[in-house]
Structure 1
Amino acid sequence: MRKGSIAASLFWLSAAWLILALVATGFLLTDLYSRALDTSLAETLDFHVESLTGALLESGSPTSDAIALTDPRFDRPRSGWYWAIRDADGTLYNLSTSVVGIDLPVLMGAADNRGRRTAVMNDVFGTQMRVVERTVTVAPNSYQIVVSGNLSEILELVGDFRGQTFIVLGAVGVMLAIMSAIVARFAMRPISKLSRAIESVREGESVTVGGTYPREIAPLAEEVNELLRSNAQIIERARNQVGNLAHGLKTPIAVLRNEAATKKGALAEVVLSESEKMSTMVATYLERARLAARTSVVGKKSDATMIMLRLTRVMRKIHPEVTIAFERPDASLPWFRGDEADLEEMAGNLLDNACKWSKGQVGVRLDAERNETGTLLLICIDDNGAGLSDEDAHKVLRRGVRLDEKTPGSGLGLDIVKELVDVYGGSLELKRSTLGGLLVELRLPTSRLSSMARPNAT
């Protein structure tokens, strides 16, 4: 069962947090920059008010030509930088060259502790301004000194700063995201290493999970090794117990059978018949336990190509009258995940049956079949014999069932194959062959490809 990726989750979580942090940082820096520029403008306007106040007090007349500011922005029309001296009735006595076609506003409200009034407003040209007004008394008259600064310029600077800030922070974010992905990948390397180690155990390349791991996942590796050891002990104990039970029952059953064989009568016949059944059942379940214990051992794999090559050579000698065509797969065919002897027993029984029932032609093919659960090894064996009906195909998979008593055999071959197939979690299907006879499809679990080169024997 798989659900997402830890590395991907770490990356997206850190990326989401990084985006939020960088966006918040961008707005915070922009706000701080805007506040700094606005404070600087306010201080500049206060300085100009103080300069005009000093010039007014020094000259003693609001209309004196000595009252002026050296900042060239007050000489440029529509600059947003204006100053003027007027009385409480709004009568102008002096003003900057930049005041052309506008009327400086009269600020309302109470003055601060320094006698100032401030406001933000627009001139007739749409320029946003910060305005500072201060009342100065030159006995016996009072005058209002008004100075304004261009706030639109500051807003444009703030906008440019915001754009550049987000570009820089975006570049920083990309670099941090790449670093986060690298860190997440690096952090997951021990887990990938542990996964490969467990897979090597499952594939038969190792008997335990080896390697050193960080303290966060080292207990997991230790528990897996302990589980493997415990599983091996359980299997060994179960196999020994079944063997002991089977051997313990064999002697009493043999005694009953021998005693019944020396007697005559209905009771002796019943005892002899039932003891035979008991002996068969003991042998059957002992064999099942042996198969289950053998296939439960982790870490076995077999080269199906080489096994089928070996089996076809043997069958050609046993059945020289039969032509066996083996369609050999390429080197990418996955290996069978299980014991070599088990695969030989399954494939050998099926191939032997095909040779017995064919009319001289048998085909063998190996392939890899992929489905939603993974990759399976597909072994197809067909012949040109009489074939089987659907009903007969189900019958022959039963223990000891034979459709033709004339052909030598016990009838247990297909049942043994089916038993092994069930143990390995595979499947066995009997179909109609294109050659006219029976097609047997055997599907089994696979292992990874072996690095060992296969010989070119045919």
Structure 2
Amino acid sequence: MQKGSITASLFWLSAGWLILALVATGFLLSDLYSRALDTSLTETLDFHVESLAGALLEAGDPLSSDIALTDPRFDRPRSGWYWAIRDQNGQLYNLSTSVVGIDLPVVMGPADSMGRRTAVIDDVFGTRMRVVERAVTVAPTTYQIVVTGSLSEILKLVGEFRGQAFIVLGAVGVMLAIMSAIVARIALRPIARLSAAIESVREGESVTVAGTYPREIAPLAEEVNELLRSNAQIIERARNQVGNLAHGLKTPIAVLRNEASSKKGALADVVLSESEKMSAMVATYLERARLAARTSVVGKKADATMIMLRLTRVMRKIHPDVTIAFQRPDASLPWFRGDEADLEEMVGNLLDNACKWSKGQVGVRLDAERGPTGTMLLIRIDDNGPGLTDEDAQKVLRRGVRLDEKTPGSGLGLDIVKELVDVYGGSLALTRSALGGLLVELRLPTARLGTMARSQA
């Protein structure tokens, strides 16, 4: 389970409450069991008191040998089970065989409606006892019948019960925790399906979030689809507005340029110069509208390996004096998530620049790189040309900037590449190459290799 996931949160929350509930249940059961044993002990002692009282009343003499209890625990010394008959002055008349080396205390406190007093005491051997004392009158003397029972035995039984209860409750807790994890995973399967559907949209395999979902998350799927539709409409409107504006300006600019070309003088030169600038700006925004239209289409993906092979063949023909080394990667390389023509335009510009500036050697590598946002397609193009300083590397990415006017070109190639890279959420870096020239590193998003794509590879 991933840290911060809903499944983990539900599991640990339920596990925490489950542990508290089971621990409380264990102590509660132990307390109930202890109370039940204590009540049973008190009732047993009451029964023995009644038995001794009946025998005393029947014999009429507290010294009679007929006064006895058949429970063998009263015959074992230091057992905690004792009985004795004494008068109100503490004079002993009869007692159990187990009363050896101890003095039974007098129970203090008020008696209940039956003339009975109870207490909990410890004998000299450290045994905790429950004491029940009752007064019985055999005219003319009132006798006190004292019977004790061992509470230590109950405490031992309660301890054993508590240990067994926690073992059983622990096993139940483990089973409930496993069941809770399974239930959480089953309950969250629709969210996993929704995530997969959204990823399919992002990867270009679908234009909407498809599938049927529970009513708790169905509104989320509908909102995502509505957001996709709204985004597509906004992009389409913006593209149309920019295109319409640019097309609308082309005719007036052409008229100004033609009029200025037919005139002589400073004013005509200024008008011609400014109309050329406006014409270049119109062309730029038309190109941007075209790029926005292409990259906003969902479902585009391209085989970068095949495109690189095709481009290297073309560049070898255009630049026969340049050696272009390209090692074909394995078939597991992910595809480019975008339009094939855009990838050709980006890599074609970069590769053409490398051939123009090199001293006869260009290297091309194609890899996949794991980054913080996922797997990226990494294209490296390096040459053995003069290279660029850090300052020049920043300058050449600006529109129309050229460091050498002698080399053919408009200066717009790298800027077009940078704009396409920004549209796709990639990156472009210019550094020093191991060959001594310029190393260009182009990172672009990847698409999952679907069944159709694999069959074509």
Alignment check: 8 A CA contact 1:335 1:450 kept: no
| Secondary structure of the structure 2 residue equivalent to 1:198 | helix
Structure 1 window deviating more from structure 2 (18-27 vs 327-336): it is 327-336
Task: Kindly indicate whether the alpha-carbon contact (under 8 Å) linking 2:206 and 2:298 is maintained by their aligned counterparts in 1.
Answer: no
What is the distance in 1 between the residues matched to 2:118 and 2:396?
Answer: 104
Alignment of structure 1 residues 28-177 onto 2, 5 Å: 28-177=28-177
The structural deviation recorded for 1:419 is 1.8
Greater mean alpha carbon deviation, residues 444-453 or residues 124-133: 444-453
SS in 1 for 2:454: coil
Q: Partner residue of 1:190?
A: 190
Aligned to 1:229: 229
Aligned counterparts of 2:148 and 2:175: Cα–Cα separation in 1: 44
Mean CA deviation greater in 174-183 or 256-265: 256-265
TM-score normalised over the length of structure 1: 0.95
What stretches of structure 1 of length at least 5 have no aligned partner? none
Contact 2:205-2:298 at 8 Å conserved across structures:
no
The structural deviation recorded for 1:81 is: 0.9
Distance in structure 2 (CA, Å) of the matches to 1:403 and 1:263: 34
Matched residue SS, 2:411: coil
Is 1:215 aligned with 2:215? yes
Question: Does residue 276 of the first structure (1) align with residue 268 of the second (2)?
Answer: no
SS of equivalent residue, structure 1 residue 377 = strand
Question: For residues 382-404 of structure 1, what are the alpha-carbon distances to aligned partners after superposition, in whole Å with 9 as ceiling and x for unaligned?
Answer: 12223334443333323223333
Query: Mind listing any 5+ residue stretches in structure 2 that lack a counterpart?
Result: none
Q: Which amino acid aligns with 1:307?
A: I
Q: 1:226, CA displacement in angstroms?
A: 1.1
Q: Equivalents in 2 of 1:85, 1:11: separation in Å?
A: 63
Give the secondary structure class of the aligned counterpart of 2:58: helix
**2:428 corresponds to 1:428:** yes
CA shift, 1:167, in A, is 0.8
* Contact 2:243 2:285 (C-alpha < 8 Å) held by counterparts: no
- In the alignment, what sits opposite 2:291? 291
TM-score (norm 2): 0.95
Letter in 1 for 2:90: G
Provide, for residues 11-53 of structure 1, a one-character-per-residue CA deviation record: whole Å limited to 9, x for no partner: 1111111111111111111111000000000000000010111
Q: 1:390 to 1:58 in 2, by over 3 A?
A: closer
- CA offset at residue 284 of structure 1? 0.7
Q: Is the 8 A contact 1:121 1:131 kept in 2?
A: yes
1:93–1:388 CA distance, 2 compared to 1 (3 A) = closer
Q: Secondary structure at the match of 2:369?
A: strand
Amino acid at match of 1:45: L
Q: Cα offset for 1:285?
A: 1.3
How far apart are 1:304 and its partner, in Å?
1.8
| Deviation (angstroms), 1:271 | 1.6
The answer to whether the 8 A contact 2:239-2:292 is kept is no
Post-superposition CA distance 1:234-263 (Å, at most 9, x none): 111211111111111111111111222222
Within 1, Cα distance between the matches of 2:204 and 2:35?
69
- 3-state DSSP of counterpart to 2:308: helix
What CA distance in whole angstroms lies between the structure 2 residues aligned with 1:455 and 1:449? Answer: 10
Contact 1:261 1:272 in 2 (8 A): yes
Please give the alpha-carbon distance, in whole angstroms, between the structure 2 residues aligned to 1:290 and 1:442.
Answer: 22
Q: Secondary structure at the match of 1:417?
A: helix
Decide which moves more: 266-275 or 221-230: 266-275
Could you give the per-residue CA deviations for residues 70-109 of structure 1, whole angstroms, max 9, x where no partner exists? 1111111211111111111111111111112222111122
Q: Any conservation in 1 of the 2:133–2:146 contact (CA below 8 Å)? A: yes
What are the Cα deviations for residues 403-458 of structure 1, in whole angstroms up to 9, with x where unaligned?
333333222212211221222232222222222222212122333344533878xx
Indicate the residue corresponding to 1:253 in structure 2: 253
Count of matched residue pairs: 455
Pair 99,351 (structure 1): closer, same or farther in 2 beyond 3 Å: same
Structure 1 residue 274: Cα displacement: 1.4
Residue equivalent to 2:413? 413
Moved over 6 A (4+): none
Could you tell me how far apart the structure 2 residues matched to 1:226 and 1:342 are? 28
Contact 2:53 2:145 in 1 (8 A): yes
Change (3 A) 1:390 1:108: closer
Please tell me the residue identity of whatever aligns with 2:430: L
User: 2: CA distance between counterparts of 1:394 and 1:186?
Assistant: 52
Aligned counterparts of 1:350 and 1:114: Cα–Cα separation in 2: 107
The superposition leaves residues 285-319 of structure 1 with CA deviations (integer Å, 9 ceiling, x where unpaired) of 11122223432344433222221112112212222
Give distance in 2, aligned partners of 1:405 and 1:124: 112
Q: Which residue of 1 aligns with 2:263?
A: 263
Match of residue 454 from structure 2: 453
Change (3 A) 1:271 1:122: same
Matching residue's letter, 1:341 = A
Q: Relative to structure 2, which stretch is displaced further, 447-456 or 228-237?
A: 447-456
Q: What is the letter of the counterpart of residue 376 of structure 1?
A: M
| CA displacement at 1:339 relative to structure 2 | 1.8
Alpha carbon RMSD of aligned pairs, Å?
1.9
CA-to-aligned-CA distance 1:326-362 (integer Å, 9 cap, x gap): 1233334333232221111000111111122222221
Identity %: 87
| Distance change in 2, residues 1:64/1:21 (3 Å) | same
C-alpha separation between the residues in 2 aligned to 1:390 and 1:83?
103
